[in-house]
Structure 1
Amino acid sequence: MPVTVLTVPGLGSSGPLHWQSLWEQHYGYSRVEQQEWEAPVCADWVQGLEQAVQAAAGPVVLVAHSLACSTIAYWARQHSTGPVRAALLVAPADTEQADFPAQAVGFAPMPLHQLPFPSIVVASSTDEYVPLARAAHFARAWGSRFVEAGALGHINSASALGLWPQGHVLLQELLRDVG
């Protein structure tokens, strides 16, 4: 059975120039939609992710950005993760930072337990939402392979990555291992 790739955007969703949106258009991946993108509640996002995973046919690989990384960690602690075979966790936002957006509720403390599926954490040395050392700490706690992507900011639309081929290579590694 073919693998379903679900993109899981962060706060505000991913705009039209974000690599997640471009991957959806170019490769045909599906997006996990949330009811509230601007003032998210963790429990609601976890439930939205659960609904998307359960609705997917066959095995699932998740591709998360920013706040969605902690959403996946919370989800994995609360639900059966059987359909999910792997996750690419890009630019995990540190929900414990003093300047973390107040409109995002219930995402702290940062979940720090081993994920029950293979994962790769990708972080930038110039990400304003998580210091590189902190992202590496998340990767260790989650049991993830850690990849430093260089000076790419928050690895979002402002980073102007287009289809972000380097990220897609990492996703292909996960997909190969699942297949």
Structure 2
Amino acid sequence: MVPIHPLALIALVVRLYNFALAIYIKIKRKLNAMHTTLVIVPGLGNSTPQHWQTHLEQQYSDTIRVIQDDWDHPERAAWIARLQETIEQTSGKLILVGHSLGSIVISQWAKSYHNPRIKAGLLVAPADVDAPDALDCIANNGPIPTQPIGFKTIVVCSDNDPYARLERSQLFAKNWGSELICLKQAGHINADAGFGQWPLASELLERLERETQAVHS
């Protein structure tokens, strides 16, 4: 093996660092090009550090997470009210990003409230709180609204979600007037199912922003 002179090694490290820094800045500029605040709406138990919702918070500069008083014993009215409080405390255009029970809360919020600053919603793996076998801790969080949500939404579901049968997820999307994307064998689309850094979430959010900007421009 040919020895490398220390100065040459230092120069190589500097070049590699500058190259990596340039890529990082390019990615951050792209991510921060979204001029909309993401309102993160987690489900039961909150989203862990490994969860894709948490990764979104790290990727985008303008995000706010709805913080519930009791993550393990959700109460329908309290969770909807906290989402409303968070929206009122946040300025500018907003996209709501829900997972599991959080997606249901967004649909319930939309039934009772209207805010023109809400431009779109990404509703991932909505949990079927009305199912006969729903978890006891979320079974009192129904009913699930059956009327259209008043803004552009995308529902992302899985064909083997343990908390919502595929037919039910399809019905939610139909009733809410949402675009439906169904993933194969994706479980509950959470960290346990391998959804930490999830590029599709970013792609969908950036598409939602482009589409809503075009509509309102």
How many Å separate the matches in 2 of 1:161 and 1:91? Answer: 12
Residue in structure 2 matched with residue 14 of structure 1 by the alignment: 47
Question: Structure 2: how far apart are the matches of 1:75 and 1:128?
Answer: 24
Contact 1:53 1:83 in 2 (8 A): no
After the TM superposition, which parts of structure 1 deviate over 4 Å for at least 4 consecutive aligned residues? none
Shift of 1:135: 0.4
Q: Output the amino acid matched with 2:194.
A: A
Other-structure match for 1:69: 103
Instruction: Answer 1 or 2: higher relative contact order, Cα 8 Å, separation at least 6.
Output: 1
1:111 CA displacement: 1.3
Which residue pairs with 1:33 in the alignment? 67
Match of 1:151 in 2: 185
1:105 Cα deviation (Å)? 5.9
Pairs within 5 Å for 1:1-179: 2-28=35-61, 29-104=63-138, 106-179=140-213
* Unmatched 5+ stretches in structure 2: 1-33
- CA distance in 1: counterparts of 2:196 and 2:68, whole angstroms: 24
Identify the structure with the greater helix proportion.
Answer: 2
For structure 1, the 5+ residue unaligned runs are: none
Worse overlay, 113-122 or 70-79: 70-79
Q: Secondary structure at the match of 1:103?
A: coil
Amino acid paired to 1:10: G
Which of 39-48 and 17-26 deviates more? 17-26
Letter in 1 for 2:55: L
The question of whether the paired residues in 2 share the 8 Å contact of 1:121 and 1:145 is answered with yes
CA distance in 1, matches of 2:171, 2:203: 23
Tell me how many residue pairs correspond in the alignment.
179
Greater Cα radius of gyration, structure 1 or 2: 2
Q: For residue 157 of structure 1, report the CA deviation from its aligned partner.
A: 0.9
Instruction: State how far apart, in whole Å, the 2-side matches of 1:150 and 1:66 are.
Output: 17
**Offset at 1:75?**
0.7
Name the % identity: 38
1:149-173 deviation per Cα after TM superposition (whole angstroms, max 9, x unaligned): 2211000011112211012211111
Quote the Cα distance in structure 2 between the aligned partners of 1:139 and 1:151. Answer: 19
- Could you state the TM-score of these two structures normalised by the residue count of structure 2? 0.79
Asked whether the 8 Å contact 1:34–1:48 carries over to 2, the reply is yes
Aligned-CA RMSD value:
1.4
Amino acid at match of 1:64: G
Deviations 1:111-162 (A, max 9, x none): 1110000000000111100111210110000000000122110000111122
